[in-house]
Amino acid sequence: MQNLSQAKKGKTYKICGYETFLPLKILRRLNDLGLTKGQQVRLLNCSLLKKALLIEVRGYLLSLQSSVAAGVLIS
């Protein structure tokens, strides 16, 4: 198990949970946006210093801060 901020570019993963350090607000937002348990995500791109990631989820594009992505567990 690893987290989303360690994902490799172009690879598809499955969300298998969340780290408990994520604030509830953020957890709710990620879930509202469709990053639910069992959902497939794909890392498409990251910014120069890797502070921001671009993922593909549920047929659309979402960019995330890497500190948020670090709370998303994937396998």
Report the interface residues with other proteins, using CB under 8 A. Answer: 18, 20, 23-34, 36-39, 44-49, 51-52, 54, 56, 58-65, 67-68
Give how far Cα 35 sits from Cα of 48, 49, Å: 24, 24
Q: How far is the CB of 50 from other proteins (least distance, A)?
A: 8
Helix, strand counts (H, E) of the chain: 2, 6
Closer by beta carbon to other proteins, 2 or else 9: 9
C-beta closer to other proteins: residue 8 or 25:
25
Nearest residue (CB) to other proteins, 2 versus 36: 36
Write out the H or E segment, with its range, that includes residue 31: helix 24-32
Min separation Cβ 45 and other proteins, Å:
5
> How far apart are alpha carbons 32 and 2 in whole angstroms?
22
